[in-house]
Structures are given as C-alpha cells and as structure tokens.
Structure 1
Amino acid sequence: MRHLLTVALLLSGTAANAQTIPVETMKEVTQVLSSDAYEGRAPTTPAEDKTIAYIVQRFEKAGLKPGNKGQWTQDVPLVEITAKDVAPLVFTGGKQAVSLDYRKDMVIATYRVVPKVAIKDSDVVFVGYGINAPERGWNDYAGLDVKGKTVVILVNDPDYKTPETKGLFDGKAMTYYGRWTYKFEEAARQGAAAAIIVHDTYPAAYPWGVVQSSWTGPQLEQDTPGDHMDQSQAIGWMQLDKAKALFAAAGKDFDALSAAAAQKGFKAVPLGVKASVGWENTIKRQASKNVVGVLPGTAKPDEVVLYSAHWDHLGRCDAVNGDDICNGAVDNASGIGGLVALAEAHAKAGPAKRSLVFLAVTAEESGLLGSKFYAENPVYPLAKTVGGVNMDSLNVIGKTKDFVIAGAGKSELEDLVKPFVAAEGRVIVPEARPEAGGYYRSDHFSFAKLGVPMLYGESGDDLVNGGKEAGEKAAKDYTQNRYHKPQDEYNPAWDWSGSVSDLNIYYGLGRQLAEGSAWPNWYKTAEFRAVRDKSRAGQ
C-alpha cells in the first residue's frame, strides 16, 4: 500500500516529497571519497582500486545488483601519456623571439600515442575562433591550407560578448563550436600540426590555474586502434599576455585582430613567424573502470532509466601551500554521494516497472572518456534507455529559490521536470553563465550525442538565505579558489539542503520515468533529435 501511495504521489507531480533523500549518505560518501587517503581519485592509479571498491560496497549496501551481466564494473581501455622534458614553445622570425615556458606561460600535450613530439619551424596562422560551421555560413579555414602549420585560436564563440542568448552562435550561450574540444578536433580535420588556444579567463569560464592543473601531469585518452594519429601533433593553451606579445612581435595588433575575428567573413591571418616545441612522452596502457549498479524493473526490465555521475578527479596536481592532492570534494565526490543516496531512496521505495541503472563513470576530467565509452559500448542498449539525470558537483551552500537546466530548450525532459521543481517551491530560470558551456562539459553530453535525453540541472544562485548576491559570490569563490585545485576539500560546515532539494527533483523525475511508459524525445529543433528517432525506429 505504501508503495502504491508513493507511485500515486509521483504520478500526480508531488513526488519531490514522496521519498526521503538520505543526507547522511551524501555527506559520508563525499567525505570518504575526497579524503587524502583517496589521493584525488585519478584513474589508473592505485587510488582507483580503492575508489571502485568503495563505490561497489555502497551500491551493494544500498540494495542494487551488479549491473553489467553479473559484474559491478565495465572496463574502459585508456592510454596514459605523460609529457617530460618539455622545451619552451618558441616563436621566431618576428621583431624578437617570443619564448613560452611550460606550465607558467603555456601547456602543451598530444592526443597521439607517440614516444616523442618535435615541431620545428612551423608557420603560424591566426584562425580566429577556429570554427567551420557551414550551416551557419561560417568558416575560419576558408581557402586556407594549414597542413603542417601551427594555428592560434580564440576560445568560445565569436558572439560570446552578446548580452543575450540570441545570435549566429547563440550569443553569450556557448555552443559546441566554442568548446576547446571542438577547436582541437577541427584543427586536426584541417591538418594542423599544432593548435594553441589563447586562454582568456572570462570566455574560457575558468582561470589559468585550472588549465595548468588539468593539462599537466599524466593525461588520459581512450585507447583505440590507430593511436589517434589522425590528430594534431601538439595541442595546448597559451596565456593571454604571451599571445599579445607574440602578435606584437609579428607586427600585429592582437585586440584589433580578435575584434575582426568576431565578424562574419573573417579571413585567417598568417603571422609571419614560426613555432618550435618538443618533448618526450611516457606511455602506459591500462583499463580504468565504470561502476554499474541496477535496480531491476518488475514489468519492463529491458527498458532503462539512467542516473550518472563521474567518480574521478585530478589526483596529484600542482601544489598550493604544500598540498598537492586535488581532492575533488564538490567535483565530483558530491555527485557520487548523490548517486548512492538516490540508489538508497529508490531501493527503499521498491523496484519500479522499468529498470533503474546507476552509473559511476571514469575519466570525465580527461574528456568524458568513461561516459563516452559506455555510450559507444552500452551495457543496456541506448534505444532502450528512456532517459535520465546526470550529476556533476552538487550544491553545498544552501537551498535556492531557483533551478537551472543546462542547455535548456533541447528535450522533453524539461517539461517533465517542471512539476518536481514546483513541488520544491522553486522556479526554473535561465543559466546565469551560459557562456561557460556547461552543457558540453559533463557526462550527459556523451549520451546526448548518441540520442539519449539526459537532464543536467542544478541549483541556481538565488539562495533562500542570502539571495542572488550571496549565491553569486559563493559560485565565484568556488570557481576562482577551489575548482580543480587542492582547495576543493570536504567541509563539515557545508549546508546540504540545496543538494537534498535537487535530489528530490532528480528522484521524482527518475521515478516517474521508471513507473511510466513515456519515451521523452528531443525537441524537433534539437541537434540530437535525428539520431534518437533513428535509434528508436526499430523498437
């Protein structure tokens, strides 16, 4: 009877309060996984074994079953590349040579699985935003041959300064063309030997310290046949002041060319200088693991509702005041805490008609590699995956009046979630920082690209206690002082009421999907609609 009442509440839209979210579980899991004993949870390190064992233990205790054909884990083949003896990136042929030191002025890496990288006297070309988008009538590589050359690229989209989310590239709302991942992909398609993005804190959405910690030390890639030899030899970032110095040495005005690059019809500009850089790589091939738990469905167990969160972080990183462990408490031990808490809540309510799958993925920080591998090699077919929720960095500063959907305007999940947000006494508001490109920066994107609608929502900034000013201040403080740094540590004084409210929403949406028969789709204007329709056509 209690179970039937719970279902009735869920289907009536008041489900957010139908199940108690175990806040102590969230706290405990977050504190344990972000402790120094877990050394920042870097994949393929000894800390991974400890992390995986703990998550399996908590899934089992929550009442889940092994989700991968009787196994708790899915192997994710990775290759670890560690750069060593990195020479300065030197630009010659201008008024004076410009030399960039590794870590301080630039970071450099490669997707290629090769023991050595050597770029010598490569012609340098400024390609603006490095975008080739025929559907938008934009091609920064038009009439250009960059094979063997080094391209310098601006971060974000050409219209990121637009105050509204309207424009050729959606104004201040970043598109995938603005993401660094896309820019390196396109540079490789164009045949560039090296691709260097100019770091600028506002359009990048994070300070240089984040780039420095994320791009140095061991770098992980999916281990695939071909060793990524179709990629550029070198990819990296340079500090803004060094980019300006480079352009000045080449007799160019960086600010003027950047402004020109934001206009349609921009033509790439050869800088008349040459780039040289080199280093050696240590290569290690090793499988990491995704953790898969399931609460099997009673009526339609082959149909799946998915919850996901990434367990990994940066491991050992650049030391701050002697601390070189990037603990990743908020990002994303908290998400795993939420995943376990939701597993407990759903298990307590009893099995639903459809199966509920809880997926803790690896290597998100290395480019969404764990979720990408699962999406490309799903344990449960994507055509049978109804949809779900991804969690990346929970709110630990208090309950907010608002709720934000990243990349809003894409899927019918946004309609389904509205009653659960309202049941929490909250309202859905636009993203405060759409220029950060949050929709393309977490694991739901791996599923979206292959057609599965996944909600990525989170607390806004309008705190119940303190309002927008306090919320914005806390968000800014985290981004500047803790995000991807050793300071992202567990704090017993955190206020988890916002996380509980968010998880009430995630629980309600997931439970409704699992108890129902709906197949939410993308809106007709969404870029992922066609692949979803194709995958579902045979069902």
Structure 2
Amino acid sequence: MKKITLIGAAFSLFFGTVSAQELELESDATLLKKYMSTITEAELKDHLSIIASDEYEGRETGERGQKMAADYIAKYFLSQGLVGPVKDNPNPYFQQFDLYSSKYSRFDITANNKKVELFDDLFPYGNFSLNKDTEVVFVGYGDSTSKMDDYANADIKGKGVVFYQNSPEEYLEEDDKAKGLRQKARLAAEKGAAFAIILSDSDEEYLTQTKRYASFLKKGKLSFKKPDSSKEEKSFGVILAKPSTFIAMLNKDEAKWNKMIQKNLKKGNRPAHESFNISINAEYSTRRVPTENVLGFMEGTDLKDEVLVISAHYDHVGIINGEIHNGADDDGSGTTGLLELVNAFSQAKKEGHGPRRSILFMTVTGEEKGLLGSEYYSENPIYSMEQTIADLNIDMIGRGDADHKDNPNFVYTIGSDMLSTDLHNIHLEVSKTFKPDLTIDYTYNDKNDPNRYYYRSDHYNFAKHNVPVIFYFNGTHEDYHQPTDTVDKIQFKEMANRAQLVFATAWELSNREKAPVVDKTDTNQK
C-alpha cells in the first residue's frame, strides 16, 4: 500500500472521505491533554529497565523470566486500582492456561552406514515419532505441470519422496511461478507419498533457511493440545535436508548428481526415479507448560457493559545459545507503554474523570510462539467479543526502521479501516487533533502486504471475531529477535509520543456516546 503521512491523510479527509469530515471528537480536550501528558519518557524508562533487564531472562513463555514479568505487571495493576477480572483463579489478574512443548530427543536418517542428523543436516517441520526402515524415491523438482510431470510413472505410494525445493523458471508454466515448499509438499501428499525430504539448492541456502528457526526447534514447539505420537506416523511429514551430506549418505557423487539434475531441464526428459533404502529414527518428548495472560480491569460509568481492550504481549524469546534476548523493543516497549496508559487512566479516575466504557488492559503471553495468549483469550474471553468495542494493540513502539532514519517521530498504524469506517475516522481525527507532529504511516495497512503484519500480532485474534482493531507498530530493525535489542537503544521521546497517541485514541473511544460501528467483514482471514 502506498505510504500516507498525516498530511496525506488530511488531504484525503478533505477531498475524498465525507464521513471523516463530518466526524467530531466528543472528549473534553483539556482533560485528555492533561492526562496524556502524564505519560513520560522517565516513567517509560523506569518500567522498561526492569522488564527488559537480564534478570528477566528474555521472558520466554512458561519460563522463570516470563513469570517474573507477569508478577510485576499484576502488582502494578493492583497498585493502580485495577481489578483482577478472572474470578475462578487464586490470582484474579492471571488468566492461566496450559501449553505443551514438544522437543526432539533424536532425529537422524541412516543409509550405507552413514548418518545425517538433526539441525546440522536435517530440519523437520512438525512432530515425528518414527523408527523404521523405508524407501525413498527421487522425483527431481517435485513438480507436476503441462511441461513436466516429475511424478509420471513413479511408484511412490506409501514411500518417501526426495526433491529439490526450488524449480528453475524454465521448468514451470507462468501460473506455477509461486510454487514453494508448502505447495510441493502438498502435491507429494496428494500423489500418495508418506513423507517428503526436500533438498535446499545449496548448503549455504540450507544454513540460511534454518539458522533463524533451529534455536526455536531446539527449545520445543508450543501448542494448545498435547501431541499424540500414535497419530504422527499416519500424518504427512516434511524434512528439509542439507544437500551435500544427504547426497553423500546415498553414496552419490554430488557433482555427478547435479549434472543429472540439469538434464531434467530438457523438455520431456523426466527424472530417473531412482529409489534408496534409508532408516529414520525420530523421537520427541512433550512437557506441560503453564503460562498466563495478565489482565487488569477498570470499570466504566454509564456505558460500563461495553469494553475497550488495550493489549500488548509481554513475552519474548528467552535465552538462545547462552545469550539473553532482552526484547526491549519487542515487546517490552508495548508492555511499558500499556503500563503508562494504565497510570494515566488511573489518575483520571482518582480525580473523578474515569472512562464511561470499561477498559480491559491485557498483556498476553505466547505471542512469539504463534499469538497463543491472545488466541486463548479470544476463544475464552472474560468479556464477550460482542461486548468488546475495539482492541488497540501495541507491539514494538520503541525504535524506528531504516525507512524512517531521518524522521524517527512516526508510527505505522495497521487495521484501523479493515472492519470499521468509524474507527478509522476516529483514529484520523485524534491523530490530527492531539498529535499533529507525529507522522502516521499506512505502508503496511494492507492485508496483501508481503510482510503480513496485519496477521502477525495479537490484534488479529480480535479481528477474527469482527472486533475492530488498530495495531501500533514501528517496524523491524537490525536488532529484531537478537540479543542486542536492549534498553539503551530505545528512543524514549518518540516512544512516549506514540504511547500518548494510543492514550488519546483510547480516551476518545471510551468516552464517546456511540461505539465504532462494524460495517465491513474480514473475508481474508487466514
């Protein structure tokens, strides 16, 4: 989507969006500005210096540091007068639930007295519990098109298949250019294969593909349901393999093998369906991982049955290869921004200016593991989705990206117009009125954006239930998911400005006469 700054947004308001022209803010501007100003750089730094400290060990879901952060947040909610809304729990600020971590204790493939092993040579997708001798068949690039059908006359029923991940362009029709690992794996399953071993084009590509995710696989994959190993042998498996060691295990010369592959580019020259006998030994163990969302509730006045949710995830990725990943920006910044919003609303309520609608302040766990905490809440809400008027989600507002190195005072907003024209117009008017100096960037406000940010943070679990959302985000940077994402690199002045924008929007939403109307439907849920 084309980048639109605040000036551009105002231009569209004037020339193209009548409803935005007609919208008027209903909040007391003097009060809003008074309490917005209580959100300060110093207080943000105080909170973040604790939450993103080494003591909290990177706040990995279910681990000691995450529990410490949960305690810190809950105690702060209590100190600010928020109520713990979880009635069936000893700690009413904790919405507790169990996840299950599955971790490989062994995964190797053997042939010709040679072995390739987990992580160094193999990267399995999903959980496998196998101990068997089996046959695999080489099927070239694993494609089936009008130009070339690699599966023609191949006997693969119940066997494994081996093929290269990336097909040469001349091998495919125009409509097939987007075929990747998932599509090829699906085709292999449809053809009757039991599993697929997919070869990267080179060792370098394999290492690039697996470097980022190997550490997470070593820790274990989290899921809501305990995996059933009795079902794994019946499910289709996918294994990414390092080509040099895998080909050597098959007693093949890699240079000759590659020369044979190149012949497949010639029209009509299908791959020789050579088969190989291998042994697969894969075992994984599962453990229960209790974790918790942390919820604090501020009851409203005359519109208290309607609830505004303000969310941020407080988990991060923990310790990887002995290094603490502090997650100061991701998402210590969103978490501490939320805590400052709590403080601002609490001061207002103490002085007799509490919100008309109720506000649920929610920091969620398990975001880094697949938006698990917000998914759990959305499926087990304390306040129904029908009561929930909007979710304002804050994830990574402490830094900037390379595109804004000359203008750090900006924020990406995503999703405001996906479900509600009203919410988007309120967002525009609040931004223009209370934060005219803050550039609002809509670059990623597109469901089809290749980065898919609309789907990648906790707001989306509300959007799936047709709750309007705004996602506040400042892009990724060189320290994203690295041990170098530390407090000293946070831009607290700009961070405070962004948090103040969220507060101003929340203040308006919680005090307006009418909640935003949902006038659109998300037809692209994934």
TM-score relative to the length of structure 2: 0.69
Equivalent of 2:321, from 318, 322, 336?
318
Give ranges in structure 1 of 5+ residues lacking alignment.
Answer: 131-140, 159-167, 258-268, 461-474, 530-539
Q: How far does residue 386 in structure 1 lie from its aligned partner after superposition? A: 0.8
Q: How far does residue 459 in structure 1 lie from its aligned partner after superposition? A: 3.3
Match in the other structure for 1:108 = 124
Q: In 1, Cα distance between the equivalents of 2:523 and 2:33?
A: 28
Q: In 2, Cα distance between the equivalents of 1:21 and 1:292?
A: 20
1:418 aligns with 2:448: no
Change (3 A) 1:283 1:496: same
Partner SS, residue 381 of structure 1:
coil
Q: Which amino acid aligns with 2:443?
A: P
1:281-338: per-residue Cα shift (whole Å, max 9, x none)? 222123211111111111222211111111222222124xxxx322222222222112
Equivalent of 1:20, from 38, 42, 52?
38
Contact kept, 8 Å, 2:160 with 2:194, in 1: the verdict is yes
Equivalent of 2:211, from 209, 212, 215?
209
Partner SS, residue 477 of structure 1:
coil
Taking only aligned residues, the RMSD between alpha carbons, in angstroms, comes to: 5.0
Match in the other structure for 2:220 = 218
The aligned runs of 1:345-384 (5 Å cut-off) are 345-350=344-349, 351-384=354-387
Worse-matched range after superposition: 413-422 or 355-364 = 413-422
Q: In 1, Cα distance between the equivalents of 2:429 and 2:410?
A: 13
Q: In 2, Cα distance between the equivalents of 1:495 and 1:316?
A: 24
Q: In 2, Cα distance between the equivalents of 1:375 and 1:316?
A: 29
Match in the other structure for 1:505 = 501
The aligned runs of 1:49-448 (5 Å cut-off) are 49-69=67-87, 71-87=92-108, 101-108=117-124, 110-111=126-127, 120-121=134-135, 194=195, 208-223=210-225, 229=231, 232=235, 234=237, 249=257, 251-252=260-261, 277-319=280-322, 324-350=323-349, 351-397=354-400, 400-406=408-414, 410-412=418-420, 413-422=423-432, 423-425=435-437, 426-431=439-444, 434-448=449-463
Q: Which amino acid aligns with 1:444?
A: H
Q: How far does residue 6 in structure 1 lie from its aligned partner after superposition? A: 9.5
Q: In 2, Cα distance between the equivalents of 1:183 and 1:359?
A: 40
Change (3 A) 1:485 1:305: same
Q: Which amino acid aligns with 1:442?
A: S
Change (3 A) 1:401 1:286: closer
1:459 aligns with 2:461: no
1:107-149: per-residue Cα shift (whole Å, max 9, x none)? 335357x6x676844557789899xxxxxxxxxx9xx999775
Contact kept, 8 Å, 1:417 with 1:509, in 2: the verdict is yes
Match in the other structure for 1:7 = 27
Q: Which amino acid aligns with 1:342?
A: L
Q: In 2, Cα distance between the equivalents of 1:187 and 1:63?
A: 57
Q: In 2, Cα distance between the equivalents of 1:288 and 1:187?
A: 37
Give ranges in structure 2 of 5+ residues lacking alignment.
Answer: 1-24, 145-150, 170-174
Worse-matched range after superposition: 227-236 or 422-431 = 227-236
Partner SS, residue 395 of structure 1:
coil
Q: In 2, Cα distance between the equivalents of 1:511 and 1:119?
A: 64
- The count of corresponding residues between Structure 1 and Structure 2 is 455
Q: How far does residue 381 in structure 1 lie from its aligned partner after superposition? A: 0.6
Equivalent of 1:449, from 464, 470, 474?
464
Worse-matched range after superposition: 408-417 or 298-307 = 408-417
Q: Which amino acid aligns with 1:417?
A: H
Q: How far does residue 276 in structure 1 lie from its aligned partner after superposition? A: 6.1
Percent same amino acid at aligned positions? 25
Q: In 1, Cα distance between the equivalents of 2:504 and 2:455?
A: 25
Q: Which amino acid aligns with 1:339?
A: L
Q: Which amino acid aligns with 1:506?
A: V
Q: Which amino acid aligns with 2:441?
A: I
Change (3 A) 1:300 1:318: same
Change (3 A) 1:232 1:389: farther
Contact kept, 8 Å, 2:35 with 2:347, in 1: the verdict is no
1:396-429: per-residue Cα shift (whole Å, max 9, x none)? 3586354323467523233331223333322433
Q: In 1, Cα distance between the equivalents of 2:97 and 2:263?
A: 42
Change (3 A) 1:484 1:36: same
1:490 aligns with 2:484: no
Partner SS, residue 66 of structure 2:
helix
Match in the other structure for 2:11 = none
Q: How far does residue 378 in structure 1 lie from its aligned partner after superposition? A: 0.9
Q: How far does residue 77 in structure 1 lie from its aligned partner after superposition? A: 1.5
Q: How far does residue 270 in structure 1 lie from its aligned partner after superposition? A: 11
Change (3 A) 1:332 1:402: closer
Q: How far does residue 277 in structure 1 lie from its aligned partner after superposition? A: 4.4
Q: How far does residue 374 in structure 1 lie from its aligned partner after superposition? A: 1.0
Q: In 1, Cα distance between the equivalents of 2:321 and 2:34?
A: 41
Q: How far does residue 150 in structure 1 lie from its aligned partner after superposition? A: 6.1
Change (3 A) 1:41 1:18: closer
Contact kept, 8 Å, 1:400 with 1:459, in 2: the verdict is no
**Structure (1 or 2) with the larger CA radius of gyration:** 2
Partner SS, residue 332 of structure 1:
helix
Change (3 A) 1:193 1:509: farther
Change (3 A) 1:331 1:117: farther
Change (3 A) 1:241 1:226: closer
Q: How far does residue 179 in structure 1 lie from its aligned partner after superposition? A: 11
